[in-house]
Amino acid sequence: MEGFYYKFTKPNKLIASFDLDNTLIKTKSGKIFPINSNDYTYSFDNVDKKIKNLIKDGYKIVIFTNQNGIQRGKTKLTDITNKIEKLFPTADYFISIKDDLYRKPMIGMYDKFIELNGKVNKMFYVGDASGRNNDHSYSDINFAYNAGITFYTETEYFLGKKDNVKHYCPTYNININNISDLKKYDRNTIIIMQGYPASGKSTLIHDYINYYKIQDENYLHLSNDTHTKSKIKKEFKNGIEKNKLIFIDNLNATKKNRKDIFDLLNINNNYKVIGIHILTRMEISKALNKQRYYISNMKENYKGKIYGKIPNVAYNVFNKKYEKMTIDEGFYKLYEYTPEIKLKYCFI
């Protein structure tokens, strides 16, 4: 099954969109999750009236809902669609069933809706996940922010209660570095990168090469993402023979990882080994991970590498295994580098 399921009827220029659970409906039992397929009711006494008034005013009703429990076998797709069809029979709906491009706050569901519907004149979104004390996340308010549409909490919309909420993006580091902070190394040098997945290692390498105008034939960019272990070893040895600048673009979390690189280097070679630790925080790295995943897979004019989404476990493993790079490992020089980060979306 695809990462989402949807029902779309016909285009409309006025769109009233909603989250489902704890926004339009809640459990009768009072439990967080329904105890059976009939454990649901309207979240507020005026939900039905508000929806009917919107339809009367010319709005299309659209529901965007995360239902990851379907993939985990905790609920059935038909249980979700039956609720919607019974209480909101005229509504279109988009149901995310996996942790992928279509799961809020990522906006794959919104993109698909716009693709089917066309541009709208007015659209708003109502949801309960907006970062308040008892909210489970920022997924709804960030979804609206990423899509560029007006947001209301469920209590604002149905009860007229003003909520002081704001979308959430990780804060950037204040003190950032520039490429000019790194000395130029263009031959007979190995540069070992270290940092979280999607922390900016590859971008730094690209910027370094451009800034110092290093010719293609004079450097190698080696990475587990693009090379097998045996190919890295072969390319590495060829690069050493030709006195190239060699970038090792992996996580390089442990001393053992780095020792494997030092062991490939013949001590008789006149080579320096430089270490660069990218200091991008984990929260920002995760946001960058999702941003490049979304842009590379969903943007029509994108022409670069297509990225998958790195799972959270990769970040936890890096933290668990992390060992700081030290001069006594054999490094000639060590740098700590904080890149300037640009987040277009708040995918957290």
Query: Which CATH superfamily is 179-337 part of?
Result: P-loop containing nucleotide triphosphate hydrolases (3.40.50.300)
pLDDT, position 230:
85
| 210 CA to centre of own chain | 27
Assess if CATH 3.40.50.1000 describes domain 4-159. Answer: yes
**pLDDT on residue 56:** 98
The pair of three-digit structure tokens given for residue 318, joined into one six-digit string: 């890096």
What pLDDT is attached to residue 175?
Answer: 87
Is the whole model's pTM more than 0.85, yes or no?
yes
CATH topology match: 4-159 vs 179-337: yes
Residue 278 phi, psi (nearest 5): -80, 125
Rounded distance between C-alpha atoms, residue 185 and residue 329, angstroms: 20
263, with CB counted inside 10 A (0-12, 13-18, 19+), is: exposed
Order of all β-strands in the sheet with 150-153:
4-7, 92-96, 60-66, 14-18, 122-127, 150-153
State residue 173's pLDDT score: 67
Q: What is the pLDDT of residue 274?
A: 97
Q: What is the pLDDT along the chain (348 residues), one digit of tens a residue?
A: 468 999 999 999 999 999 999 999 999 999 988 888 888 999 999 999 999 999 999 999 999 999 988 888 888 999 999 999 999 999 999 999 999 999 999 999 999 999 999 999 999 999 999 999 999 999 999 999 999 999 999 999 999 999 999 999 998 767 899 999 999 999 999 999 999 999 999 999 999 999 999 999 999 999 877 778 888 889 999 999 899 999 999 899 999 989 988 988 876 578 999 999 999 999 999 999 999 999 999 988 888 889 999 999 999 999 999 999 999 999 999 999 999 988 999 998
178-207 per-residue burial string, b: 16 or more CB within 10 A, e: under 16: eeeebeebeeebbbbbbbbbbbbbbbbbeb
Residue whose C-alpha is closest to residue 306's, from 319, 320, 292: 292
CB atoms within 10 A of CB 85: 14
Structure-block tokens of residue 126:
């109502």
Provide the CB-side half-sphere exposure for 75 (13 A, CA). 23
pLDDT (0 to 100) of residue 267: 61
Tell me, what's the pLDDT at 341?
87
Domain extent listing, the chain: 4-159, 179-337
Beta strands 41-42 and 25-26 are antiparallel
Task: Give the tokens for residue 22.
Answer: 């704890």
For residue 236, give the nearest of 214, 269, 275, 207 by alpha carbon. Answer: 269
Closest of 325, 210, 345 to residue 278, by C-alpha: 325
